[in-house]
């Protein structure tokens, strides 16, 4: 089971990833957006080389236990920039692929205004993400977490207009 992470962990994580970034704003999480099995624990806006990215740290229930991941959204382009799995307890054989780049790269560039759907074998629409074969529940958990982050991004953007 994951332990709730402190703000300093998330800031350290982002700054290690991008040593030249600046934290512009930290957001208070509106818990009403969270649902059973999926919750955003931390969110911050960073600036890196003139690009603004909303980093959100989210916990979701996978097949075995919780998956803790980070989703970043490109604020100017309204697209998912990156998804990273920080910690998971999924099975080593299939569910363990959840932290592999070939799976996580499937999220990059997805528009945030259309919820993502988990599909099997092939994606036919821009908002579809192909599940890991043999790990559909794990894949759906990550898609659910990314969708929650996309929803929160849209909510934060509307509040700041």
- Please list the pLDDT of the chain residue by residue as tens digits (161 residues): 444 444 468 888 888 888 888 999 999 988 899 987 899 999 999 999 999 999 999 999 999 889 999 999 999 999 999 999 999 989 888 888 999 999 999 999 999 999 999 999 999 999 999 999 889 999 999 999 999 999 999 999 988 76
Would residue 1 count as lying in a domain?
A: no
| pLDDT attached to residue 116 | 97
Strand, coil or helix: 153: helix
Instruction: Give the model confidence (pLDDT) of 44-81 as tens digits.
Output: 999 999 999 999 999 999 998 899 999 999 999 999 99
* Inside any domain, residue 151: yes
DSSP secondary-structure letter at 65? S
- Supply the pLDDT for residue 127: 96
2 in a structural domain:
no
Tell me how far apart the alpha carbons of residues 91 and 9 are, in angstroms, rounded to a whole number: 25
C-alpha closest to that of 103 among 64, 70, 148, 143:
143
Hey, what's the torsion of the CAs at 91, 135, 66, 43, to 10 degrees?
Answer: 130
Please state the pTM of the whole predicted model: 0.90
Distance (Å) of CA 42 to CA 146, 151, 157 = 14, 14, 16
Greatest alpha-carbon span in the chain? 45
Tell me how many domains the chain contains: 1
Query: Which of 97, 75, 138, 144 has the alpha carbon at shortest distance from 116?
Result: 144
147 close to 129: Cβ distance less than 8 angstroms? no
Q: Report the distance separating Cα 61 and Cα 63, nearest Å.
A: 7
CA distance 61 to 104: 17
pLDDT at 10: 87
Task: Give the domain extent around 90.
Answer: 7-159
**Would you state the pLDDT for residue 8?**
64
Residue 161's pLDDT is: 63
The confidence score (pLDDT) of residue 92 equals: 82
In the block, which residue shows the tokens 């074969």?
Answer: 133
Task: Look at residue 72 in the predicted model and tell me its pLDDT.
Answer: 97
């Amino acid at each position: 089971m994951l332990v709730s992470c402190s703000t300093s962990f998330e800031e350290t994580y982002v700054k290690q990833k991008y040593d030249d970034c600046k934290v512009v704003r930290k957001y208070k999480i509106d818990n009403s957006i969270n649902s059973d099995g999926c919750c955003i624990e931390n969110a911050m806006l960073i600036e890196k080389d003139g690009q603004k990215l909303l980093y959100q740290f989210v916990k979701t229930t996978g097949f075995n236990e919780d998956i803790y991941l980070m989703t970043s959204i490109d604020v100017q382009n309204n697209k998912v920039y990156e998804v990273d799995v920080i910690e998971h307890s999924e099975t080593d054989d299939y569910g363990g692929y959840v932290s592999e780049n070939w799976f996580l790269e499937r999220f990059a560039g997805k528009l945030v205004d259309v919820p993502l759907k988990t599909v099997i074998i092939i994606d036919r629409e821009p908002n579809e993400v192909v599940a890991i074969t043999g790990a559909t529940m794990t894949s759906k958990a990550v898609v659910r977490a990314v969708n929650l982050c996309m929803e929160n991004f849209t909510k934060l953007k509307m509040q700041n207009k």
